[in-house]
């Protein structure tokens, strides 16, 4: 039996806001049988660029965002589910517009799906995250950044998204819960926090209203807790390398006068506890069952 996988995402003003969405879509195309993209009406040529990828697996749904929805990212959930509800595969693989899959992981992901497909106790697969910060050479290792997340879920169970990041599962109309999951033994490369600083500021200026805020946070990459950074020692996915040259900050210089915030100090203390106990204090939206 052939196990089918749908890819899906949503995007709006991806060019204007500096998303590597074309690289994101291209990175997953070799794995999936279809790729559904919900493209919101915007002010740039994002729709044309998705069309220009020119792969017959891509199916586009044109949408309009609810501009009055300001409840903790629920407009993201709406757009995510518009795309997911259109998927017809046995499994549905969600990638955000700044997330990329490495070509070296594709065979491992397929093997993980085949391994767990016959076990109904496994509802989703969990990926290890690599969060880049400031430039392509640095990653965040703070427990304040989720280290693992579900990105591949059975498309035959009742699931929905409270926001763009994660899923909840319901059964027989009972209280929703986190998906029961297994490890995919693969990575998601998250590039949102290395896009050009001005593009990140435009992004926060534009979307903060969907998270219930009238004012966006001021973004300055140099003002960051250097204790929460580590050098990246791997290789970047082939699909995103051109964007890294043209759409990303190239160097990170931490302000030597910067003083970590109380929250950053808390996360640093948590990371020290992690090193002593072997525990992981980062937030999780899943329950490992296999």
For the chain, percent of residues with pLDDT exceeding 90: 85
Of the candidate ranges 19-23, 108-112, 166-170, 217-221, the one whose mean pLDDT is the lowest: 217-221
**pLDDT for the residue numbered 230:** 98
Nearest to 133 by CA among 219, 214, 206, 193: 193
CA distance 171 to 157: 8
pLDDT at 168 over 90: yes
Per-residue pLDDT, 163: 83
pLDDT band at residue 1 using 50, 70 and 90 as cut-offs? confident
pTM of the model: 0.95
- pLDDT bin (cut points 50, 70, 90) of residue 71 is low
Distance CA 50, CA 189 (A): 20
Nearest Cα to Cα of residue 31 among 85, 140, 108: 108
pLDDT of residue 43 exceeding 90, the answer is yes
Q: What sections of the chain are H helices per DSSP? A: 21-28, 46-53, 74-85, 106-116, 197-207, 241-246, 262-277
* Percentage above 70 pLDDT, the chain: 97
Task: Considering only residues 210 and 31, tell me which one the structure prediction assigns the higher pLDDT.
Answer: 31
Q: What is the pLDDT of residue 216?
A: 66
As a whole number, mean pLDDT of residues 127-132 equals 98
Contact 10, 37 (CB under 8 A): yes
**Gap between the Cα atoms of 6 and 45, Å rounded:** 25
Question: What is the average pLDDT across 96-113?
Answer: 98
Mean residue pLDDT of the chain comes to 94
Residue 96 clears pLDDT 80, i.e. is over it:
yes
Mean pLDDT of 93-120: 98
Q: What per-residue confidence (pLDDT) applies to 37? A: 98
């Amino acid at each position: 039996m052939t196990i089918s996988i749908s890819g899906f995402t949503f995007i709006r003003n991806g060019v204007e806001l500096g998303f590597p969405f074309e690289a994101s879509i291209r990175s997953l195309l070799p794995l999936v049988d279809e790729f559904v993209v919900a493209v919101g009406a915007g002010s740039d040529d994002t729709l044309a660029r998705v069309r220009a990828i020119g792969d017959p697996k891509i199916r586009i749904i044109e949408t309009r965002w609810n501009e009055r929805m300001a409840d903790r990212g629920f407009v993201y959930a709406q757009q995510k589910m518009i795309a997911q509800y259109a998927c017809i595969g046995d499994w549905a693989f969600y990638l955000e517009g700044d997330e990329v899959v490495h070509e070296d992981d594709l065979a491992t992901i397929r093997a993980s799906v085949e391994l767990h497909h016959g076990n109904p106790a496994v509802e989703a697969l969990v990926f290890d995250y690599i969060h880049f910060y400031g430039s392509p050479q640095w990653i965040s290792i703070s427990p304040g950044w989720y280290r693992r997340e579900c990105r591949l879920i059975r498309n035959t169970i009742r699931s929905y998204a409270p926001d763009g990041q994660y899923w909840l599962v319901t059964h027989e109309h009972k209280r929703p819960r986190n998906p029961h999951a297994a490890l995919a033994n693969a990575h998601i490369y998250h590039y949102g926090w290395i896009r050009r600083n001005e593009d990140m500021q435009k992004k926060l200026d534009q979307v903060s209203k969907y998270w219930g805020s009238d004012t966006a946070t001021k973004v300055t990459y140099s003002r960051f807790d250097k204790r929460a950074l580590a050098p990246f020692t791997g290789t970047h996915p082939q699909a995103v390398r051109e964007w890294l040259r043209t759409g990303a900050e190239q160097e990170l210089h931490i302000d030597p006068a910067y003083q970590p915030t109380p929250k950053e100090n808390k996360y640093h203390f948590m990371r020290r506890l992690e090193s002593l106990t072997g525990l992981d204090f980062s937030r999780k939206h899943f329950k490992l069952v296999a």
